[in-house]
Structure 1
């Protein structure tokens, strides 16, 4: 039976904009209120997905959310026609209005936590949407995310879907951005590494002081229980509180793993020696490669600025691993020097490929933020909604869809335009027909 790791990239939504909504995310804050290009952003994301498909990877896409979120604005007391709701919200509460226009669902590393069938008690692939309670604009996503995941992975024989965790900061869950799976190959039982920022119920434990720790240990443990994971296949490690205060808001900004490789910064983890010892013990006798990047070679600031660790490590059909990195890594002298050295060190990582995803980078997300990894066997892959997978035909259809519906430029004033809402809904309604995922949006459900 063949085994695959499929990357499902989030399609960038029609309201992609820079509102600086994410406290603790340095890139998001630094680019607040700049003009964005939804069309360019969507095309950059599609180009990366197609390039991976052309490398021989299995590549899919996930639909974006409906924005502006009129339903959320109505829940908050704005009334009248849709146009009146937009006008009132923009005038009376700019912050709420901008949050309800966010296109942040493009970062599907935050969509859910996924456990493959090799790890779970019932032998199915399990999905739990992230509740994203720490940021209001992202807390609007989980219900529709669940709808999209069920439309993509609909076969109950192979896929199990859970409700997101309770909407409370005690169970703050940011999804796969704080979850890495290590394994010998994708089809064998692996070790699922959950990384948390703080203990919710024991405030005496270490925690960051400047920026919020978005993921709790209790959330990680809850997801592991829901997915039916064996204790011998799970390791919990705490993110270094000091590095969170330097702008590392998710673990995937400072560490990334693939199969038997964990690639991380020297300052990534709290009490890392004990954690790595547990990882190696549970991984077994086969080699596990810990690739640590010293602060002396790459500072935390450069790692955050270039998203060196928010890269994808993928295993090519040849068996070699390659890094999918943003062009910012190529343009930074220290990071480029390190990557040039890395491919000569004799680790499984043999090459680096650079991609321009600047529209995403400026809003605080790199290549790894744009994808949700799902390890599957060939029977499970056959049970996936095939219309969500990228091939030449579907790539062309999606590019034409973007050209038809997306604006070239978007600023804050454009977001309150009722015509943008109509354009967005028209685009999403057509997209659900292209992907054949059903009526996943509130406007489609009445």
Structure 2
């Protein structure tokens, strides 16, 4: 969420930022109308309070002078002022709620280092690692490999839950668990503290990270104020909602594995085959809390941490920086890591790492203070996938497949698979 004072003083900057995001907009006219009403109410209340205080002091003097009639008139004036102040306070509260809702719908301001662009086709490549896999046989897509190997069952997933759900079995289930443990162990070694949060969250948490109110249609509702989490970012970030952190202990590094749930309301017709875009998926998430002056450095190191997983698994990938038109609602700057998938003959997103600066912290009221300092500052929050587990499995199946239909297990993952070195077709 942007600072209301910033919006008031820099409306042209907000206009330009929304324009650069292509589809974003804000109601500038309504903002200044509401802001004017709010400020007028405050000024009138301050005047009435001053008048009330002056008249209240006069009442005692009038009583001592025997001017009972004038004292009674003064009392009525004080009572009228009190009633008018209460009326104005109610009006101000209503206006402030409307103003907050309006500002809460404005996306974050892109960092000046973010390239201008219309959509994901204009995301510049930053670097690439490895060489796209080539085969001397006709490779299969992971949805065919998974079925042939007996590790992914799409039909029974649909039977159990519906479209865009799937069932893992045997070594498929074991690989999912192995990948989760492998990723978490890597992040632990890098200094990330592990959490095991609930997968149900509330409105305040989703508002804090920016999913609500804008993306409500993509969320699974459990009860009117409870939802299934779309990502562990929501829970990890909100651990410190309404808290003041010790600035001397920043940055904080958190990680967690959770199932994630998304309606994918806006993705009709996209990636309908396989396990790339589904309603329930596993993900290992990274979240950081950093000082403002250090947050961009922490973004680069977060990207490197996600890349490390792919390098250890020896999966080819590239990194792109999201242009203004593809930037997420809460992000000021974002990198996507895209893994090579032979079935697409292209790279597909497997991690998205964002610096939200103070956007989420303002919504969630997360501040920090140094021991010697008297004032508090908003912390900067960062989040990134480390990695999306299902997409990692799909990449392994496709890139490590062999001519005989088997799939070799990446060397780094073998210890987590109990020594299993390959998945072979079931007899």
Q: TM-score of the superposition, structure 2-length normalised?
A: 0.27
Larger Rg: 2
Q: TM-score of the superposition, structure 1-length normalised?
A: 0.26
Which has the higher relative contact order, 1 or 2, with Cα contacts under 8 A spaced 6 or more apart?
1
The answer to which structure has the higher helix fraction is 2
